[in-house]
């Protein structure tokens, strides 16, 4: 049921529009003024608000508890830790605790050299009930946006921190630092039930606005056919968010655009499409030059032979060049090159690459090589699987120096981040040929890098299964086959769009 309390007063509208920092140059001066007039200072803030619509409740198994020893924090990081704790205290995010529970603290380095303050909630998650409240189906959500002429996307300020915890749940989130014992007053990052609670909040806030507004977690979109409608719709949604006690990050909003990015797609101008790139996941892979490279390609292609008509005949010219008596360097002829491109093209089209069916179970296979990462998202029965997405990226120079286990763990984190809109909010299977990673979730902080990556995966719900390397040929091939022109960290992806020809595009990170 919709719950609304506060309403806007006309004399609180911004006339100067100081809070709307996003570029409005695509609009006329008159339209810019209309957008700025609708936006208000109380709503557009970087500091998180506090809703009274929902609370997050943590339900643990009877008799269970968490009293984990704190991870050692180096002396040189204590100043950064104190700064973060003081900030959260000042914002009311945490409070001093007397709890008997204790979760370890992990400091995660950011790209800019600063530190992200994280709590290791793995053990709390393992003894608490999982909330299966669903996230929206991406295909259905995007279908609603295709004919819009005006689009606004909004991003909430530290969305999870705008949701209060129930009183009984606060002590369960306690964590110890050299500065003392503290506990959260709001929903922290890392709880596996947090996405469900946040989606429930957004569904209640926008409960009867489905004709022009939608939310996937904290990614909100407003879509309209005319300018007049869009201004009315924007006002209505902002009114709902304000009434719910929520705040919006002004630097991450796009207002009244004809085209914008949403959930990994470009939407607007009457169409929905993946973003176009000069590089394509499977079709961009270079022509194999050695027997080993060709065997890798044929191994991956052979995994889907049942979907490729006359596969054996197509592959015969290539198979002949992989024998032990053949030269290590492949001698390409016009016929063999045509066979290679024929098979390569088939792998990125139906009936091999299918659109995702969100009513079916997903299987994610990942792999890492000395130079790159690869993953394939699959559906179907064990003897009739078909891919719905391929992804691949080259390692950064610093990542090349990682250990084998670290590279394999990085492949998992990267794949889940890249495919989060397919996988978040549903149970899926993660398959890896690196046996040690079956116990990734139980690792102690002996490897801080792997621990930090795994903590970022807590909102996902998956089972890790080990598979032999011979059954992981697609992810293995993708981790090795990228073009040399690809920059370190650049990710490419291939997916099929529902009811349309296969489209190749980079993942939008």
The distance between the two most distant Cα atoms of the chain, rounded to a whole number of Å, is 85
Is residue 274's pLDDT more than 90? no
Identify which of 41-45, 56-60, 321-325 has the greatest average pLDDT.
Answer: 56-60
- Does residue 163 register a pLDDT over 70? yes
| pLDDT for the residue 310 | 66
pLDDT computed for residue 275 by the predictor: 52
Angle, nearest 10°, between helix axes 311-319 and 334-346? 130
pLDDT band of residue 489 (cuts 50, 70, 90) is low
Q: What integer is the mean pLDDT of 104-120?
A: 77
β pairing state of 491-496 and 461-466? unpaired
Kindly report whether the peptide bond that precedes residue 351 is cis, defined as omega within 30 degrees of 0.
Answer: yes
Residue reference for tokens 């911004």: 14
Residues 109 and 151 in one domain: no
For 114, residues 6+ apart whose C-beta sits below 8 A from its C-beta are 80
- Looking at the structure, do residues 174 and 214 belong to the same domain, yes or no? no
The answer to whether residue 171 scores a pLDDT higher than 60 is yes
CA angle (70, 71, 73) in 5-degree steps = 115
The answer to whether position 468 is within a domain reads: yes
Q: What is the mean pLDDT of residues 326-354?
A: 76
Q: Do 427 and 282 share a domain, yes or no?
A: yes
Provide the pLDDT confidence category of residue 497 given band limits of 50, 70 and 90: very low
Better-predicted residue by pLDDT, 214 or 490: 214
CATH classification of the domain holding 284: 3.30.420.10
**Residue 4 belongs to some domain of the structure:** no
Query: Across 135-144, 166-175, 486-495, which has the greatest mean pLDDT?
Result: 166-175
Please give the residue that has the higher pLDDT: either 187 or 67: 187
pLDDT of residue 508 exceeding 50, the answer is: no
Question: Is 59 within the bounds of a domain?
Answer: no
Q: Is the pLDDT of residue 415 over 80?
A: yes
Helix (H, G, I), strand (E, B) or coil at 176: strand
pLDDT of residue 279: 33
127 and 142, same structural domain?
no
pLDDT at 156: 94
Is the Cβ–Cβ distance between 256 and 35 less than 8 Å?
A: yes
Nearest to 43, CA basis, from 11, 12, 88, 2: 12
Residue 462 lies in a domain: yes
Which conformational region is residue 154 in: left (phi greater than 0), alpha (psi within -120 to 50 degrees), or beta? beta
**178-216 tens-digit pLDDT:** 899 999 999 999 999 999 999 999 999 999 998 999 999
Task: State the average pLDDT for the chain.
Answer: 81
Q: Which of 223, 252, 273 is the last residue of a domain?
A: 273
Distance from C-alpha of 109 to C-alpha of 459, rounded to nearest angstrom: 20
Determine contact, residues 492/392, Cβ cutoff 8 Å: yes
- Is the pLDDT assigned to residue 56 strictly greater than 90? yes
Residue 496 binned pLDDT confidence (cut-offs 50, 70, 90): low
Confirm whether 62 is domain-assigned. Answer: no
Domain match, 157 and 43 both? yes
Residues 400 and 432 in one domain: yes
Question: Which of the pair, 396 or 354, is modelled with greater confidence?
Answer: 396
- Least Cα distance to 160 among 222, 202, 209 occurs for 202
Using the 3D structure, point to which of 247, 273, 299 is the last residue of a domain: 273
> Which percentage of the chain shows pLDDT scores above 70?
79
In-domain check, residue 3: no
Contact 480, 490 (CB under 8 A): no
442 Cβ contact partners less than 8 Å away, ≥ 6 residues apart: none
Phi/psi-derived region of residue 223, left when phi > 0, alpha when psi is between -120 and 50, beta in every other case? beta
Q: Is the pLDDT of residue 117 over 90?
A: no
Is residue 5 in some structural domain?
Answer: no
* pLDDT at residue 16 in the model: 38
Q: Could you report the per-residue pLDDT of 220-245, keeping only the tens digit for each?
A: 999 999 999 999 999 999 999 999 99
* 147 and 22 housed in the same domain: yes
Q: What Rg value do the Cα atoms of the chain yield, rounded?
A: 25
Say which residue the tokens 């179970």 belong to.
361
Give me the CATH number covering residue 150: 3.30.70.270
Clarify whether residues 262 and 291 are in a common domain.
no
Domain shared by 319 and 450, yes or no: yes
In a domain, 30, yes or no: yes
| 212 and 320 inside one domain | no
Domain co-membership, 105 together with 217: no
Confidence of residue 269 (pLDDT cuts 50, 70, 90): confident
pLDDT surpasses 60 at 110: yes
- Which domain, by its residues, includes 429? 276-509
Tokens representing 313 are: 């005949």
Give pLDDT tens digits for 289-304. 888 888 888 877 776 6
For residue 209, what are the CA distances in angstroms to 38, 204, 206, 414, 503?
18, 10, 5, 34, 31
Q: What is the mean pLDDT of residues 461-477?
A: 81
Picking from 192, 197, 195, 103, the residue whose alpha carbon sits closest to that of residue 458 is 192
Same domain for 18 and 79? no
Percent residues over pLDDT 90 in the chain: 34
Number of domains in the chain: 3
pLDDT score at 509: 30
Specify the CATH number for the domain of residue 121: 3.10.10.10
Using DSSP's 3-state secondary structure scheme, residue 130 falls into coil
Residue 386 pLDDT exceeds 50: yes
What CA–CA distance (Å, rounded) separates 34 from 37?
Answer: 5
What pLDDT was estimated at residue 491?
55
In this prediction, residues 338-359 reach a mean pLDDT of 74
- Among the residue ranges 226-240, 336-350, 479-493, the one predicted with the least confidence is 479-493
| Residues contacting 52, CB < 8 A, separation 6+ | 5, 164, 244, 245
pLDDT score at 87: 93
Of 273, 293, 328, at which residue does a domain stop? 273
Residue bearing the bigger pLDDT, 322 or 227: 227
Q: Which range in 83-92, 293-302, 416-425 is most confidently predicted, on average pLDDT?
A: 83-92
* Whether pLDDT at 12 is above 90: no
**Does residue 103 register a pLDDT over 80?**
yes
């Amino acid at each position: 049921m919709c719950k609304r309390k506060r309403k806007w007063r006309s004399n609180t509208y911004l006339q100067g529009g100081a809070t709307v920092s996003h570029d409005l140059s695509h609009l006329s001066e008159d339209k810019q003024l209309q957008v700025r007039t609708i936006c208000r200072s109380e709503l557009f803030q970087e500091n998180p608000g506090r809703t009274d619509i929902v609370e997050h409740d943590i339900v643990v198994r009877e008799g269970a508890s968490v009293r984990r020893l704190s991870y050692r924090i180096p002396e040189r990081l204590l100043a950064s830790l104190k700064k973060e704790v003081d900030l959260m205290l000042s914002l009311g995010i945490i409070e001093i605790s007397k709890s008997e529970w204790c979760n370890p603290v992990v400091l995660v380095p950011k790209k800019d050299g600063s530190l992200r303050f994280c709590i290791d909630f793995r053990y709390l998650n393992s003894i608490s009930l999982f909330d299966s409240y669903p996230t929206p189906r991406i295909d259905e959500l995007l279908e609603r946006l295709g004919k819009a002429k005006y689009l606004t996307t909004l991003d909430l300020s530290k969305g999870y921190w705008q949701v209060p915890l129930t009183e009984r749940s606060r002590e369960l989130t306690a964590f110890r630092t050299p500065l003392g014992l503290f506990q959260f007053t709001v929903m922290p990052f890392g709880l596996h039930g947090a996405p469900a609670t946040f989606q429930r909040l957004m569904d209640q806030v926008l409960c009867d606005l489905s004709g022009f507004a939608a939310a996937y977690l904290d990614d909100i979109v407003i879509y309209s056919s005319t300018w007049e409608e869009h201004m009315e719709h924007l006002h209505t949604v902002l009114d709902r968010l304000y009434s719910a006690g929520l705040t919006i990050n002004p630097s991450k909003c796009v207002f009244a655009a004809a085209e914008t990015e949403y959930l990994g797609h470009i939407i607007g101008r009457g169409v929905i499409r993946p973003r176009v790139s000069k590089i394509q996941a499977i079709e961009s892979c270079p022509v194999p030059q050695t027997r080993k490279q060709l065997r890798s390609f044929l191994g991956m292609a052979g995994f889907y032979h049942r979907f490729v008509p006359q596969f054996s005949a197509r592959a015969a010219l290539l198979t002949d060049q992989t024998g032990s008596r053949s030269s290590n360097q492949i001698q390409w002829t016009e016929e063999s090159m045509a066979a290679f491109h024929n098979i390569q093209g088939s792998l990125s089209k139906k009936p091999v690459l299918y659109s995702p069916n969100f009513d079916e179970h997903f299987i994610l296979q990942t792999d890492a090589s000395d130079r790159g990462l690869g993953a394939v998202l699959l559906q179907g029965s064990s003897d009739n699987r078909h891919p719905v997405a391929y992804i691949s990226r080259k390692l950064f120079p610093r990542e090349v120096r990682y250990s084998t286990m670290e590279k394999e763990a990085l492949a998992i984190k990267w794949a889940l981040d890249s495919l989060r809109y397919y996988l978040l909010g549903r149970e899926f299977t993660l398959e890896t040929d690196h046996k040690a990673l079956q116990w990734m979730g139980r690792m102690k902080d002996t490897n801080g890098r792997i621990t930090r990556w795994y903590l970022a995966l807590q909102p996902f719900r998956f089972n890790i299964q080990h598979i032999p390397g011979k059954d992981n040929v697609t992810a293995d091939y993708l981790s090795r086959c990228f073009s040399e022109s690809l920059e370190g960290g650049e990710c490419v992806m291939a997916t099929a769009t529902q009811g349309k020809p296969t489209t190749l595009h980079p993942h939008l990170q």
